Each structure stands twice: as structure tokens, then as C-alpha cells.
């Protein structure tokens, strides 16, 4: 593959061109398995390349901590070569989490089963009149990549540059669940389409839970905002989340992202 701007040959498809300082891929879709990660490189709605990073667990066991860190490091290095605006990821949680921790890119978790769920290529054709070219293009990619292509319009949502700790405010400053409660709110605050989190009052009259603190982003309202429901024992707290979404549909996409992040943080049942 050559650079789309200056024509310089690239070592790998989608690499950032150091000759003319041009990105040749604006997004990377990473699909993780236990022993490999398949990367699909996108430039707008076009697939410009693919690559696979593999590792080998010892004697068929799951990756050790060192192997996991090294595997994720190799995947992160491949992504850095592209300098994408956005990374989408799906699959095995442990290598996905470790790779995410090693990167500083805008990072989205594709919901489990999201690729075969609502909003796929067929629904888009029915709703927006997408033609045969769209169907042919998506027939050649994995369900995860098809899901991402279907939602590239989320790039129109404003990205909030405010540091996560400065997004938390309101008249109630106490959070239930102590350290885990703070972790849940911090996880939500790190999302690029969350503008503000307003903690609500604590209701101590709920049904008791034996699973420790659980967190869930609830259905989006008509204005695109959602609620973060924290439950710890018999205490329940509903926190308002102000997003950059403009309606219920885009708010639901943010909600899906938030719930995936909370599952990754082990604050939700898988």
C-alpha cells in the first residue's frame, strides 16, 4: 500500500506516513481472541487493510500476566503505527482491557452481540435507503466491522475535553459503595461523550443485594441523557449523566458504551 497523499510505499497497510505526515487510516477495529487479535483498518467507510497479531499460551493454558501484557503491547504498537482517531474493540476481555490501558486513543467497546443485534446493515437499508453497494461492502467484512461501519455517524457527537474528575458536580457529593462507587463514576466520566455527572440522593430502602456494588446506565431520555444507577446492599443511588447526544437514539449508543465499560470494570454482571 502507498500513502494516499504522497504515494510513498508504506511498510504495512494503513501506516501513518512519516514522509508527508498523513494518516492513512482513521479508525482501527480490533477483534480479540485468547491467542490472537485481528485488526481491520478503516479510512472513513473503506477497509484499507487488515493484520493479525498472535501469541501462544503455554501448554494450552490462558495467558500468564506477563504474556498478556506483552501480547497487548504488540497489539497497541500496531495500532500506534496507524495513529487513528478512534479504536473499536470486541472479544476477549482480558487482552482487550490490557490493550486499552496501554493506549491513549478514543476507545470504544463494541457491545457483546452488538454486531448481530439491532442497527445492522439490513436495518440501515430499510431505514435510510442504503443501496446494494452498502450490502455488498458489508458482506465482505466481519459482523463486528459491519457494526462499526453502521455507527461511524457517532463521530458527529461532540467530544468533551474536560478531565473526568471535573465532570462530577452537583449538590450531592456522597457516593454509595465507597471505592467501587467512585470507580463506577470515574469509568462513566472517562467517556468522551459524557459532559457531566450529577450525583443524586441516596435511598436506603431498596432491596438488599449480596453481590456488592452494581452499576448500570439506564435507558436514554428524549434529550439523549441517561442515568447511572448504583446499588450497594439496600442502598440505591440514581445519578444524572449529561451527554453530548442529541436524541434518544444517539443517547442509547452512548448508554451501550457505558454499560460495556462498566462490565469491563467488573461493576456489572457479564
d(CA 5, CA 57): 41
Nearest by Cα to 168 from 196, 149, 191: 196
Burial of 70 (0-12, 13-18, 19+ CB in 10 A): middle
d(CA 162, CA 169): 13
pLDDT tens track for 17-53: 999 999 999 999 999 998 999 999 999 889 999 999 9
pLDDT tens track for 127-161: 333 444 455 555 588 999 998 998 776 667 888 88
Structure confidence at residue 174 (pLDDT): 84
pTM over 0.95: no
pLDDT tops 90 at residue 189: yes
Structure confidence at residue 207 (pLDDT): 62
Structure confidence at residue 184 (pLDDT): 95
Of 78-87, 98-107, 165-174, highest mean pLDDT: 78-87
Backbone torsion region of residue 227, taken as left when φ is above 0, otherwise alpha when ψ lies between -120 and 50, otherwise beta:
beta
DSSP 8-state symbol, 17: B
- Other Cβ atoms less than 10 A from the Cβ of 77: the count is 12
Backbone torsion region of residue 60, taken as left when φ is above 0, otherwise alpha when ψ lies between -120 and 50, otherwise beta:
left
Position with higher pLDDT, 29 vs 120: 29
16-109: CATH topology: Nucleotidyltransferase; domain 5 (3.30.420)
Mean pLDDT of 164-192: 88
**CB distance 243 to 194 below 8 Å:** yes
Position with higher pLDDT, 170 vs 104: 104
d(CA 104, CA 86): 10
Per the DSSP assignment, residues forming a β-bridge with 39 are 30, 51
Taking all residues of the chain, what is their mean pLDDT, rounded to a whole number?
A: 85
DSSP 8-state symbol, 22: B
Backbone torsion region of residue 119, taken as left when φ is above 0, otherwise alpha when ψ lies between -120 and 50, otherwise beta:
left
Structure confidence at residue 264 (pLDDT): 85
Domain locations in the chain as residue ranges: 16-109, 164-265
Amino acid at each position: 500500500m502507498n500513502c494516499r497523499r504522497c504515494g510513498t510505499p508504506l511498510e504495512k497497510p494503513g501506516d501513518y506516513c512519516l514522509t508527508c505526515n498523513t494518516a492513512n487510516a482513521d479508525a482501527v477495529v480490533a477483534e480479540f481472541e485468547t491467542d490472537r487479535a485481528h485488526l481491520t483498518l478503516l479510512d472513513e467507510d473503506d477497509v484499507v487493510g487488515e493484520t493479525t497479531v498472535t501469541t501462544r499460551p503455554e501448554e494450552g493454558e490462558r495467558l500468564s500476566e506477563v504474556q498478556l501484557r506483552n501480547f497487548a503491547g504488540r497489539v497497541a504498537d500496531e495500532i500506534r503505527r496507524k495513529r487513528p482517531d478512534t479504536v473499536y474493540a470486541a472479544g476477549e476481555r482480558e487482552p482487550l482491557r490490557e490493550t486499552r490501558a496501554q493506549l491513549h486513543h478514543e476507545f470504544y467497546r463494541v457491545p457483546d452481540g452488538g454486531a448481530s443485534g439491532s442497527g445492522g446493515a439490513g436495518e440501515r437499508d430499510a431505514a435510510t435507503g442504503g443501496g446494494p453497494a452498502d450490502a455488498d461492502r458489508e458482506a465482505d467484512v466481519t459482523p463486528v466491522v459491519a457494526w462499526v461501519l453502521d455507527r461511524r455517524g457517532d463521530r458527529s457527537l461532540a467530544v468533551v475535553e474536560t478531565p473526568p474528575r471535573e465532570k462530577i458536580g452537583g449538590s450531592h457529593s456522597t457516593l454509595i459503595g465507597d471505592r467501587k462507587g467512585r470507580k463506577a463514576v470515574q469509568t462513566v466520566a472517562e467517556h468522551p461523550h459524557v459532559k457531566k455527572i450529577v450525583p443524586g440522593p441516596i435511598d436506603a430502602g431498596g432491596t438488599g443485594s449480596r453481590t456488592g456494588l452494581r452499576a448500570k446506565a439506564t435507558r436514554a431520555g428524549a434529550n439523549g441523557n441517561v442515568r447511572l444507577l448504583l446499588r450497594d446492599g439496600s442502598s440505591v443511588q440514581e445519578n444524572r449523566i449529561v451527554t453530548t447526544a442529541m436524541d434518544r437514539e444517539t443517547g442509547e449508543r452512548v448508554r451501550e458504551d457505558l454499560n460495556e465499560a462498566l462490565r469491563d470494570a467488573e461493576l456489572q454482571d457479564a
